Amino acid sequence: MPKSRAWHLVARPKGWPLPGDFALVESEVPEPGPGQILVRNLYLSVDPYMRGRMKDAKSYAPPYELDQPMTGGALGRVVASAADGFAVGDHVLHSLGWREYALVDAAHATTVDPAAGPLTAHLGVLGMTGLTAYVGLLRIAAMAPGDTVFVSGAAGAVGSQAGQLARLKGAARVIGSAGSDEKVELLTGEYGFDAAFNYKKAPVAEQLRAAAPDGIDVYFDNVGGDHLEAAISALRVHGRAALCGAIAGYNATEPQPGPRNLGLLVGRRLTLRGFLVSDHLDLRPEFLRAAGGWLRDGELHHHETVVTGIGKTVEAFLGLLRGENTGKMIVALPE
């Protein structure tokens, strides 16, 4: 059998992760036992939530163990099977990423149809990324036709889908923030946002007031920090915020101050609700029907930033934290 390389976390980052916090380790590729499949990974997903799992702290997902292979979303091809329902050559989704070969319990793998579209779409626009946007916008924030919607980190994997879904679901106005003029142009051009701004150019609150002088009804939060504070000030009576992520503080070494305007929640009867997509998997069939149709009709657009090679995985992850991606960040592992 061939050798497999996998990334291990060897030190818990303090502040921004460093390349030395990770090690690429080679090992033998095992044979699958009963109920298992051996998968040659083709595409790996790197995502902001992974930064939280590098801390030795209790959270919704257990921390990564030191000196053990890391995990994350992946898509690959079955190269050996000892499980009913899985044949050599099948393409499957699973959670044992950050490595070249994965020994997967069949119960934790899902087959995908390569004829349904690009394989990478199942890690992004048709995967948990797209479902997260769908859940957050429609179930958590209860967006309704005619609402004004603000999305932070709107050129990222989840944000770009949330903004487009708002438009497709009849929002009166969709506003996004992004970290470069090029991304702002993408939002107002291809993605169809009504307005967008570069949050690095001026205070977020100031730019949001200019883009939404009459306020907003829904906020989809991927950033936290000054974006959340600005959105609270802009939310109208009975406004709703879906709290998906807070990447602005993921690498902070000191506790970050909370929004200074939480008193507005009472008088305006605002709702701020955090969520995990894993609690809402019942919406997946509905989401796939809707998103698949929009994709086929050319109404839903998506971008991917693809980095090639297992050795580039950490580099891709660090680039994601720095905002270097447009859309979903994916690592391709050519066979």
Residues 175, 315 within the same domain: no
> The domain that contains 328 carries what CATH number?
3.90.180.10
Residues 134, 259 within the same domain: yes
Q: Which domain, by its residues, includes 224?
A: 128-279
pLDDT at 253 exceeding the cut of 80: no
> The domain that contains 190 carries what CATH number?
3.40.50.720
Backbone angles phi, psi at 77, to 5 degrees: -115, 135
**Tokens matching residue 76:** 């690959």
| Domain contains 105 | yes
Per-residue confidence (pLDDT) for residue 1, from 0 to 100: 63
What Å distances lie between residue 212 and 54, 120, 146, 179, CA to CA?
37, 35, 14, 19
Mean pLDDT along residues 256-263: 90
Of 217, 206, 124, the C-alpha closest to 166 is 217
Residues 162, 259 within the same domain: yes
| Domain contains 39 | yes
pLDDT at 24 exceeding the cut of 70: yes
The tens digit of pLDDT for each residue in 168-218 reads 999 999 999 999 999 999 999 999 999 999 999 999 999 999 999 999 999
pLDDT at 117 exceeding the cut of 80: no
Residue 162, classed as helix, strand or coil, is helix
Average pLDDT, the chain: 95
pLDDT band at 251 (very low <50, low <70, confident <90, very high): confident
The tens digit of pLDDT for each residue in 63-107 reads 999 999 999 999 999 999 999 999 999 999 999 999 999 999 999
Per the structure, the count of domains in the chain is 2
Q: How far apart are CA 120 and CA 116, in angstroms?
A: 11
Residues 135, 248 within the same domain: yes
pLDDT at 21 exceeding the cut of 70: yes
Query: What is the full DSSP assignment across 289-333?
Result: HHHHHHHHTT-S---EEEEESGGGHHHHHHHHHTT--SBEEEEE-
Place of tokens 């967008």: 196
Residues 22, 152 within the same domain: no
pLDDT band at 289 (very low <50, low <70, confident <90, very high): very high
